[in-house]
Every structure is written in C-alpha cells, then in structure tokens.
C-alpha cells in the first residue's frame, strides 16, 4: 500500500516536473510546479513530516506560487519565442541526464539496501510539538537570524519594486 | 490475485532517486528555458527536491533535525521569491523583456 501511494505521488511529481520544463508558457509551468509541490506534500506525510507537509502546502503551494502567478499576470508574460538551439542539446543533454540519473540510482541502491522500507507511521516525531521544541532550543540562533533575513528581504523587495519618485 | 512485482513499502532509495530526478529536471529547466520566470521556478523545483532528501534522511536517521533544515529552506525560498520577483519586476520595467538572452549588459 505504501509503495503504491509512493509510486502514485512520485509519478505525479515527475510528470508535473517534466511538464514544467517542457511548457513554453510560464503560467502552465507555474501550475505544473503547484502539482509537484502538492505531490511532495503527500510524500512528506508518508515520511511522517506532518508539520512540513502542512507548511509545504501553505507556504510553497499557497504563498510563493500565488506570488509567481501574480507576477506572471502583472507582467502579462506570453509564451517563449522558439529559437533554434545547437544539436548538442538533444544529442548530449538528454543522454547525459539519463546517464547521471542511472549512476545516482545505482549508487543509492547499493548504499541503502531495499530490505527496510518506509512505513507510514514509522516516524512520528514530525509534529509541530517536536519541531517547535527543537526550533526554540537547539536551533534558536538560526531561527532568530532567519527572522532578520526575512526582514531584510521584506525591505529589499519594497525598495526594488517601489515606484521611482522624481 | 497475481503478485505484483513491487514491494510492500517503498525503500529509502526510491525516495532519494525521486529527489535526484526532480533536482536533475530543475537543472535542465534552469539551463534550457529562457523565460526568466520559468528559470526562477526551476530553482524552486531544485529547492523542493533537496527538501525531499532532507525529510527522507530524517526518516532514515529517526531525527527531527532534517525537518528543521527543510523548514529553513522554505523560509529562505520565501525570502528569495520575494526579492527575486521584485528584481524581475524592475528588470521588466527597465528592459520590457523577460528573455534572459536579451539581458546581457554584464557581457563583454
């Protein structure tokens, strides 16, 4: 059952990711990216990451993608114009990609034997309680630094996107 | 009922291979696409792939630390999206184009 769920959501993620790369219109790519993120949230749930799955849906699929779609609409971005690329893209790019993935897959199969699988419920410490406790004890300094980073990003975005005053 | 050739539960390596596939597709999109917004979305895809690796290793090692790192990656991605899209807006305002090949002032 777990394997079937994994294969289902992995297929959704991979097909959406391929669609993201192949689509020429940015709004189609954005919708594909939402598909990837939704499928990944389901996989996080299978791995026992309740909090991260919820954060993935709210922060990534919600907030960040709304920002992307908003900018696409605002700039009225159309489809890419087709240009001719060199033949090396087709003749080297895709085989190299497949060869790289084959190598990675081979190494990973050898590193992690297939005997132990991911069981739903095999890891139950991904709740908001556990994450919050660790975040405010061991990882307090990174957490505070992150808040400063967010503040800087906020100010930077406003400064960059504001209307020039003559 | 015939026995399907898939195991009862997905091995750890499958999750890591899925992560590698998504990361490779993100790199491919980053290199192949020329619309600056799509390039930016490919970066988000790579960040998501790395997050999946973090969560998988968190399961494997039975520690929550991977979730914390994944959380920080999300926060940084949100900040990056805000600043990056503001930069894209500014570039479009100055150049009236989203093609990365035409934005080449730093070349030569």
Q: What is the CATH number of the domain that holds B38?
A: 1.10.287.3510
Which tokens go with B42? Answer: 């490919």
Chain B residue nearest residue A155, CA to CA: B83
Interface probe with B: pick from A9, A24, A26, most Cβ of B within 10 Å? A26
d(Cα B48, Cα B76) in Å, to the nearest integer? 12
What are the angstrom distances between the C-alpha of B73 and each of A106, A130, B37, B60, B76?
28, 18, 20, 20, 5
Determine, yes or no, domain membership for B103.
no
Determine, yes or no, domain membership for A166.
no
Determine, yes or no, domain membership for A154.
yes
Determine, yes or no, domain membership for B7.
no
Determine, yes or no, domain membership for A39.
yes
HSE of A70 in the Cβ direction (CA atoms, 13 Å)? 11
Question: Which H helix or E strand runs over A38?
Answer: helix A26-46
Determine, yes or no, domain membership for B66.
yes
Residues of A in contact with B10 (CB under 8 A): 2-3, 6-7, 46, 117-118
Task: Note the ipTM here.
Answer: 0.90
Residue A164 has pLDDT above 70, yes or no: no
Determine, yes or no, domain membership for A33.
yes
| Domain containing residue A155: CATH number | 1.20.120.1200
R_g of chain B, CA atoms, integer Å? 19
pLDDT digits (tens, 9 = 90+) for A36-60: 999 999 999 999 889 999 999 999 9
Determine, yes or no, domain membership for B67.
yes
- Alpha helices in chain B, H assignment, sequence order: 12-32, 36-61, 65-95
Top-confidence residue, A16 or B98: A16
Look at residue A145 in the predicted model and tell me its pLDDT. 95
Determine, yes or no, domain membership for B13.
no
Question: Which H helix or E strand runs over A15?
Answer: helix A2-22
Look at residue B2 in the predicted model and tell me its pLDDT. 56
Determine, yes or no, domain membership for B105.
no
Average pLDDT, whole number, for chain A? 88
d(Cα A66, Cα A69) in Å, to the nearest integer? 5
Chain B 20-79, CB below 8 Å of chain A: which residues? Answer: 20-22, 24-26, 28-29, 32-35, 37-38, 40-42, 44-45, 48, 51-52, 55-56, 58-60, 62, 64-65, 67-68, 70-72, 74-79
Look at residue B5 in the predicted model and tell me its pLDDT. 66
Contact A6 B14 (CB under 8 A): yes
Domains of chain A: total: 1
Domains of chain B: total: 1
Chain B residue nearest residue A26, CA to CA: B38
The parent domain of residue A10 ranges over: 2-161
Determine, yes or no, domain membership for B4.
no
Task: Say how far residue A60 (Cα) sits from the centre of its chain.
Answer: 8
SS3 of A57-101: the string is: HHHHHHHHHHHHHHHHHHHCCCCCCCCCCCCHHHHHHHHHHHHHH
Determine, yes or no, domain membership for B11.
no
Determine, yes or no, domain membership for A74.
yes
The parent domain of residue B81 ranges over: 34-96
């Amino acid at each position: 059952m777990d394997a079937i769920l994994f294969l289902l959501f992995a297929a959704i993620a991979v097909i959406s990711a391929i669609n993201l790369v192949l689509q020429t219109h940015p709004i189609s790519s954005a919708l594909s990216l939402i598909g990837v993120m939704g499928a990944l949230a389901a996989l996080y749930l299978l791995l026992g990451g309740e909090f991260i799955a919820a954060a993935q849906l709210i922060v990534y699929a919600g907030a960040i993608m709304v920002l992307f779609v908003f900018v696409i609409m605002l700039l009225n971005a159309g489809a890419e114009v087709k240009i001719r690329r060199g033949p090396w893209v087709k003749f080297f790019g895709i085989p190299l990609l497949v060869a790289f993935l084959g190598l990675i897959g081979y190494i990973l199969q050898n590193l992690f034997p297939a005997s132990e699988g991911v069981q739903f419920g095999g890891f139950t410490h991904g709740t908001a309680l556990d994450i919050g406790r660790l975040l405010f004890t061991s990882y307090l300094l990174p957490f505070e630094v992150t808040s400063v980073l967010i503040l800087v990003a906020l100010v930077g975005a406003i400064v960059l996107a504001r209307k020039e005053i003559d | 009922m015939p026995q399907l050739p898939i195991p009862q539960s997905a091995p750890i390596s499958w999750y890591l291979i899925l992560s590698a596939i998504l990361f490779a597709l993100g790199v491919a999109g980053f290199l192949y696409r020329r619309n600056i917004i799509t390039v930016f979305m490919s970066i988000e895809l790579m960040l998501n792939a790395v997050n999946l690796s973090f969560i998988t290793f968190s399961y494997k090692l039975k520690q929550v630390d991977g979730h914390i790192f994944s959380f920080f990656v999300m926060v940084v991605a949100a900040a990056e999206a805000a600043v990056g899209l503001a930069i894209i807006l500014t570039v479009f305002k100055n150049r009236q184009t989203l093609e990365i090949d035409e934005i080449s002032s730093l070349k030569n």
